[in-house]
Structure formats: C-alpha cells, structure tokens
Structure 1
Amino acid sequence: MPERTGVYPGTFDPVTNGHLDVIQRAARLLDRLVIGVAMNAGKGPIFPLEERVELVQAETDAIARATGAEIKVVPFSGLLVAFAREHGAGMIVRGLRAVSDFDYEVQMAGMNRRLDAGVETVFLMASETNQFISSRFVREIAQLGGDISSFVPQLTLERTLQRVSRTA
C-alpha cells in the first residue's frame, strides 16, 4: 500500500494548541506529515523562520511518537501545490476554526485543485476547545501582558514570553 503523505502549511507564529490539535488528528490519518512553515514575512512574525521551525518540531515530537506517523517540519515559500509535489504529498491538510475560515479556505482549495488536480485538500475542524485560538490573538495577548498559557504548549509559552519581553 502506498505511503499516505500530507502537508500542513502555516506560519506558526507561534504554534498554538489549535495547530497541535489539527496536527495530531492529521497524523492519525497519514503515514507521513510534512509541516511547512511559511516564510511569510508580510505577516510580521515575532519569531524568525528558523525558530518557528525549531518550535514546531519540538512541539510535535511527542505526537509523532504517539501516532507512529513520521512528522517532518521544514520551511517553505512559493506555491503550496509545488511544495506538496516536492514532498510526494497527495493531500493538503487545512484546519478550520469557524465559518469565517471556510470561505477563504474553499477558494484556496479550488485554486490549488486547478493548479494540481492530483493533490486533494482535506479540512479538519479544530476541536471545540481550540476553535477560537489564533496565532494573531495569542501574539496580541502576550504583547499586552495577558495570560496565554492555555493557548500554547509550555516551550512555546516560554519562548513567546521571552520574545515579547525583549520587544517591550
């Protein structure tokens, strides 16, 4: 049986419990999950690309062990379908939090399908406890001195608090 490989793209600035929820569920469906950490300098990330890759890898190691899926974390830029092809992926995994995400994601899935009909987009709903979490909100709350401990895993919490204290 051929290996089932998928890609899960995102900026992961910072990686949240919502991201990890989707990663864990995707890892149960796939043999190999390639997490593409987007360069996306236009979003003004608080973490440099290399540190985002490092954090996502550290936070997903336990998921790989628990599910038996291979999880690889790599930086990427350019077309998502080209990234998927480069890694032998037949699936793009996208997380949905709310109806507002759906409209944008359906448009992106349609465009990706037109660019490469051999790559399917699969949507995974975030669990109800994580549906409201977004990296942007986590960054803003941290920068304003709020408690983000229930939104991110421990290592990411520590690094985020260090990062925002340097910029304050």
Structure 2
Amino acid sequence: MRRAVSSGTYDPVHNGHLDIVSRAADVFDELVVLVAVNKNKKTLFTVEERVDMIREVTGHLPNVRVDSWQGLLVDYCRANDIKAIVKGLRAVSDFDYELQMAQMNHQLTGVETLFMPTNPVHSFMSSSLIKEVATYKGDVAHLLPDLVHDRLMKRLAERA
C-alpha cells in the first residue's frame, strides 16, 4: 500500500490546501492529512477544531484520514509506516525552506518528500493572509469551503 502524509497547521484549512490533498489522494492509496501541533504558533482554532473541519471537508475522499501530532513529522511517519511526505509549493521561497526540511527528514529517517506545485489559482493563499483579510471584513468566502468560512467568521466575531 502506498501511503503518504501531508502536514500543516491548517488554521484554517483553505482551498489551496484541499487542492493538494485531493491531488495527492489520487496518487496514493492512503493519504493522512496531519494537523501539526506547534506550541510556538498562536492559532485561531484548537487542534480538535482543525481536525474536525478537515474531516468534514475531505469526507468525500475515501482514502483520506485526518490525524494530529506534536513532534517531528518523521517520528509520525516512522510510527505509522509512512514512507512519503507530500508538500505543496506556492513559490520559489516555499521551495527553499521545504528543500532543507526534506533533506533533514531524509537524513533522519529516509522518508521521501514529494513536492507538488500549487494550482496557480491558489498560489497566493495562506491561512495567515486569509485570517488577516477576514479580520478586516474582506471577503474570503471564495477561498474556503463554506463550513470553514462560517466557522472562521463566527470565531472572529467572538473575538471582536
């Protein structure tokens, strides 16, 4: 069975993320979307909320599983017998950082990293930018699945 993981903070998950997830799900027998727990990042949604949202918006993909992990991604891969990491690349700047990570991950455990270019329609998207625009009442509805957009707007209203 060909298994891979696609990890990120996903705070919140957006259409660019989902583009990579659906394309990777077409390539692998199983794809784990892994919500990374990073104590250094201030997130808008809890880990459980992010996992829930991703499960809901990927429910139509039968070979996608959602999980969370705190620690090194390669440790998750080793514990779950996953041999490949899928990373979406928006720009050359993403490649510079992700290449270093890929080389480190391979050195540590032999896990391969496969880079997938983002569809140009989504190349400007980041969760941080989407949250910032939404905070100032900019329209981000077309960048997110409906249920994620609804939860984002509700959370921002609660914090206002």
Post-superposition Cα deviations, 1:95-144, rounded to whole Å, max 9, x if no partner, equal 10011101000000010011011x11000111010011000101111111
Residue 123 of structure 1 is aligned with which of 112, 115, 118? Answer: 115
Residue 152 of structure 2 is aligned with which of 152, 157, 160? Answer: 160
Partner residue of 1:85?
78
For 1:16-55, what aligned pairs fall within 5 Å after superposition? Answer: 16-55=14-53
Distance in 2, matches of 1:5 and 1:137, equals 31
Q: CA shift at 1:52, angstroms?
A: 0.3
Q: CA shift at 1:41, angstroms?
A: 3.0
Structure 1 stretches of 4+ moved >6 Å: none
For structure 1, list consecutive stretches of 5 or more residues without a partner in the other structure. Answer: none
Residue 140 of structure 1 is aligned with which of 119, 124, 132? Answer: 132
Partner residue of 2:55?
57
Query: TM-score, with normalisation over the residues of structure 1?
Result: 0.93
SS of alignment partner, residue 131 of structure 2: helix
Post-superposition Cα deviations, 1:1-58, rounded to whole Å, max 9, x if no partner, equal xx00001110000000000000011000000011110111322100011000000111
The answer on whether the counterparts of 2:4 and 2:85 sit within 8 Å (CA) in structure 1 is: yes
Aligned residues: 160
CA RMSD of aligned residues (A): 0.8
Distance in 2, matches of 1:45 and 1:143, equals 14
Partner residue of 2:141?
149
Q: CA shift at 1:87, angstroms?
A: 1.8
For structure 2, list consecutive stretches of 5 or more residues without a partner in the other structure. Answer: none
Residue 68 of structure 2 is aligned with which of 75, 79, 86? Answer: 75
Q: CA shift at 1:83, angstroms?
A: 0.6
Distance in 1, matches of 2:140 and 2:80, equals 34
Q: CA shift at 1:147, angstroms?
A: 0.7
The one-letter amino acid of 2:135's match is Q
Post-superposition Cα deviations, 1:61-92, rounded to whole Å, max 9, x if no partner, equal 12x14xxxx21101101111111122221100
SS of alignment partner, residue 114 of structure 2: strand
State the identity as a percent: 43
The answer on whether the counterparts of 1:34 and 1:87 sit within 8 Å (CA) in structure 2 is: no
